[in-house]
Chains A and B, each alone.
Chain A
Amino acid sequence: MQSAVILANNLSKEFITTKKSSGLRGAVKNLFKPEKTVKRAVDHVSFEITKGEIVGYIGPNGAGKSTTIKMMCGILNPTGGNVLINGMSPVNQRQKIVMDLGVVFGQRSQLYWDLPLGESFELLRRIYLVDRAKYEANLAELDRILNVHEFIDTPVRQLSLGQRMRGDLAAAMLHSPSVLFLDEPTIGLDVDVKYAIRKFIKEINEKYQTTVILTTHDLDDIQALCKRIIIINDGIIVSDSPLEELIEQELGHRLLIVELSAGDFHVTHPKAEITPLGSNRLQLKFRKDEISAAALISDISAQYQIRDLQIKEADINDVIRQIYARSKAACL
């Protein structure tokens, strides 16, 4: 039996915050009768992730993504349910689990602020008990993709965001963990660095079968990397399926946009929904299981002369926006 690398079972986290009323009267009230509100950041979340998967964990701001990741790597204790990483619970076997875990929070560096990057690496080598030969080999390998040698002697606090993120990623992989948690690793990065990071994730996944959980607001990251995505909204998982299936389900249709030469035309087609776009252009919305794009084009060109055409694939941004909107409506 192939056991799950990560197994979350009704995992929940509640935060209790005291509401602050303003003014003197409010201050007195806060002192004697604080108003407590319970925020269910993560609400009965269950999933199973097997070795070698790259899973996109996405959701709008405040959905509970970071909170879930923090429970998985032992930073937060769940208020309900549990999670097992390699069969162990972070609640009572934190040290053992994190030995085989890499963690990157895009918002907050895990490196040591005052130390040059190289010394942080050296320190991590000792913390994770990596022997020197292995360490040198790993570092050389990581450097090939992330180019960290350029700034290895610079103290971390002097690094630019992109440099720091590359440093953080390298640091997370120095001890060759089997599971990698990446919470917004591409936040605020330029195209080149984003590309390098995607390439890095892809390579380590292929080469070492590293299991990767990735949260991001950049859906291009998802499209480039993840076969499976889990969507969370308001603490609840609203979807967990392969990316292709999700797109298929949500947007079965595609768009064909044609520009015709003739000025006056009247196009109809039984299998397409047609909207004029002006200046001789038309949008045809069709389902790909009903008619192929080629058939549709030849039907139209039989009637009118086509000057130019364009087929729009389903856009993952639209899909996700649609799902967020629907789950939000369901909450109300």
Chain B
Amino acid sequence: MKTLSRYGLMAMTLLKINIQRGLEYPAHLIGWLISNPLQFIFGLITIKVVISNFQALGGWSFEQTVFLYGLGIISHGLSVVLFIQTWYMGFLITEGELDRMLVRPLNVFFQFCFFDFNFIGLTDMLPGIIIFTYGCMAASFQFTLANTLNLLLALVGATALRGGLYTIIGALSFWIQRSRQLIGVQWKLFDYSAKYPMNIYPPIVQGIFTFLLPIGFICFYPASQLLYANAGFALPGNLCLWTFAVGIGFYMLGMMVFKIGLRWYESCGS
């Protein structure tokens, strides 16, 4: 209990410091505010072009795909805020940057997550929220109590799932010196998985993205349930609840892999 409140206080302090630090570079903030939405609007245009040329994707209408895409961007935005450090974990590990965390009396993973909290990632959320709101209206999504709860579960789960997967991929650097290339692969993977309904892929790919590397849960499965759209595999139970469970599970797995990897940490010569 005491440790919990200690970490809570610490997290608040770090949050404050990080926001303060972010505001010291207003130009940076404005740059992001402009470039990020552009990127997502281009994404949306791509979908529109693809759909108008090839009919609906896997039985999903344009409106439903917009909903899916918006959902993906929101959890992407949340994960950018919370987990951006994992993207350069490889760099931190090979350059010996974890030294300074290891000499402090705090959990290393906690320091890793909170010392570089990136609130500018909130700018990623803005286009996500706009696109998602449009998607909700266009696909006539009903904000009933059950739907809202499911949506929240799915968002928390998807964010945690992204965090967990990023952490696992980043932590590979503890064993493989040059796993930085993997980050590029990770990007493509998450990009494609979020943009299109997953049931357009062959069953084997769907299988992999469901049971092995469950990125289908990031937005495809929860969206399919929320919109009663084609989910490919008929998975039993509440898919939003599944997303939540898979997300928390993978996040914990990520923490564990990080913890084990830390034993292999070799710092660097000095």
Q: Does A98 contact B (CB under 8 A)?
A: yes
Find chain A residues with CB under 8 A from B149 CB.
none
Find chain A residues with CB under 8 A from B9 CB.
126
Q: Of A66, A75, A96, which one neighbours B103 at CB under 8 angstroms?
A: A75
Find chain A residues with CB under 8 A from B10 CB.
126-127
Find chain B residues with CB under 8 A from A66 CB.
269-270
Q: Does A147 contact B (CB under 8 A)?
A: no
With A and B bound together, what is the CA distance between A70 and B99 in angstroms? 9
Cβ-defined contact, B105 with A75, below 8 A: no
With A and B bound together, what is the CA distance between A284 and B263 in angstroms? 58
Cβ-defined contact, B267 with A98, below 8 A: no
Q: Of B21, B106, B267, which one neighbours A75 at CB under 8 angstroms?
A: B267
Q: Is the interface of B mostly helix, strand, loop or mixed?
A: loop
**Beta-carbon nearest neighbor of B18 in chain A:** A114
> Which of these binds chain B: A45-53, A105-113, A239-247, A324-332?
A105-113
Q: Does B55 contact A (CB under 8 A)?
A: no
Chain A residues 160-216 with CB under 8 Å of chain B are: 183
Q: Does A123 contact B (CB under 8 A)?
A: yes
**Beta-carbon nearest neighbor of B269 in chain A:** A66
Cβ-defined contact, B106 with A95, below 8 A: yes
Cβ-defined contact, A96 with B267, below 8 A: no
Find chain B residues with CB under 8 A from A76 CB.
265-267
Cβ-defined contact, B99 with A105, below 8 A: yes
Find chain B residues with CB under 8 A from A73 CB.
102-103
Asked, given contacts A108-B96, A108-B270, whether A101 binds B103 with beta carbons under 8 Å apart, the answer is yes
**Beta-carbon nearest neighbor of A69 in chain B:** B270
The size bracket of the interface on A is: 20 to 34
Find chain A residues with CB under 8 A from B106 CB.
95, 127
Cβ-defined contact, A77 with B103, below 8 A: no
Query: What sequence of 0s and 1s flags, for each residue 95-116 of chain B, a beta carbon within 8 Å of any chain A beta carbon?
Result: 0101110111111000000010
Find chain B residues with CB under 8 A from A119 CB.
17
Find chain A residues with CB under 8 A from B103 CB.
73-75, 98, 101, 103, 110
With A and B bound together, what is the CA distance between A96 and B14 in angstroms? 22
With A and B bound together, what is the CA distance between A77 and B13 in angstroms? 31
Query: What sequence of 0s and 1s flags, for each residue 131-149 of chain A, a beta carbon within 8 Å of any chain B beta carbon?
Result: 0000000000000000000
With A and B bound together, what is the CA distance between A105 and B96 in angstroms? 12
Q: Of A15, A114, A127, which one neighbours B104 at CB under 8 angstroms?
A: A127
Q: Of A96, A129, A183, which one neighbours B270 at CB under 8 angstroms?
A: A183
A84 to chain B minimum Cβ distance, whole angstroms, is 17
With A and B bound together, what is the CA distance between A114 and B21 in angstroms? 8
Q: How many A-B residue pairs have CB under 8 A?
A: 61
Cβ-defined contact, B270 with A115, below 8 A: no
Query: What sequence of 0s and 1s flags, for each residue 42-64 of chain B, a beta carbon within 8 Å of any chain A beta carbon?
Result: 00000000000000000000000
Query: Most A CB atoms within 10 A — which of B106, B263, B270?
Result: B270
Query: What sequence of 0s and 1s flags, for each residue 1-42 of chain B, a beta carbon within 8 Å of any chain A beta carbon?
Result: 000001001100110010001000000000000000000000
Asked, given contacts A75-B99, A126-B9, whether A70 binds B105 with beta carbons under 8 Å apart, the answer is no
Q: Does A94 contact B (CB under 8 A)?
A: yes
Cβ-defined contact, A77 with B263, below 8 A: yes
With A and B bound together, what is the CA distance between A15 and B267 in angstroms? 11
Find chain A residues with CB under 8 A from B266 CB.
15, 76
**Beta-carbon nearest neighbor of B95 in chain A:** A108
With A and B bound together, what is the CA distance between A70 and B265 in angstroms? 11
Find chain A residues with CB under 8 A from B99 CB.
70, 75, 105, 108, 110
Cβ-defined contact, B102 with A74, below 8 A: yes
Q: Does A99 contact B (CB under 8 A)?
A: yes
A128 to chain B minimum Cβ distance, whole angstroms, is 7
With A and B bound together, what is the CA distance between A94 and B103 in angstroms? 8
Cβ-defined contact, B107 with A95, below 8 A: yes
With A and B bound together, what is the CA distance between A127 and B266 in angstroms? 24
Asked, given contacts A95-B107, A119-B17, whether A105 binds B267 with beta carbons under 8 Å apart, the answer is no
Cβ-defined contact, B96 with A123, below 8 A: no
With A and B bound together, what is the CA distance between A62 and B269 in angstroms? 9
Asked, given contacts A108-B96, A108-B99, A127-B10, whether A115 binds B17 with beta carbons under 8 Å apart, the answer is yes
Cβ-defined contact, A127 with B105, below 8 A: yes
With A and B bound together, what is the CA distance between A110 and B100 in angstroms? 5
B89 to chain A minimum Cβ distance, whole angstroms, is 17
**Beta-carbon nearest neighbor of A129 in chain B:** B6
Q: Of A99, A107, A123, A127, which one neighbours B17 at CB under 8 angstroms?
A: A123
Q: Of B21, B107, B267, which one neighbours A70 at CB under 8 angstroms?
A: B267
Find chain B residues with CB under 8 A from A77 CB.
263, 265
With A and B bound together, what is the CA distance between A105 and B9 in angstroms? 28
A-B contact pairs, 13 of them (CB 8 A): A15-B266, A66-B270, A73-B102, A95-B106, A98-B104, A98-B105, A103-B103, A107-B270, A108-B100, A112-B115, A115-B21, A126-B13, A127-B104
B-contacting residues of A (Cβ < 8 Å)?
A: 15, 62, 66, 70, 73-77, 94-96, 98-99, 101, 103, 105, 107-108, 110, 112, 114-115, 119, 123, 126-129, 183
A-contacting residues of B (Cβ < 8 Å)?
A: 6, 9-10, 13-14, 17, 21, 96, 98-100, 102-107, 115, 263, 265-267, 269-270
Given contacts A99-B105, A127-B105, 15 further A-B contacts (CB under 8 A): A74-B103, A75-B99, A76-B265, A94-B102, A98-B102, A98-B103, A98-B105, A103-B103, A105-B99, A105-B270, A110-B100, A119-B17, A126-B13, A127-B106, A183-B270
Closest 4 CB pairs of A and B: A99-B105, A107-B270, A75-B102, A103-B103
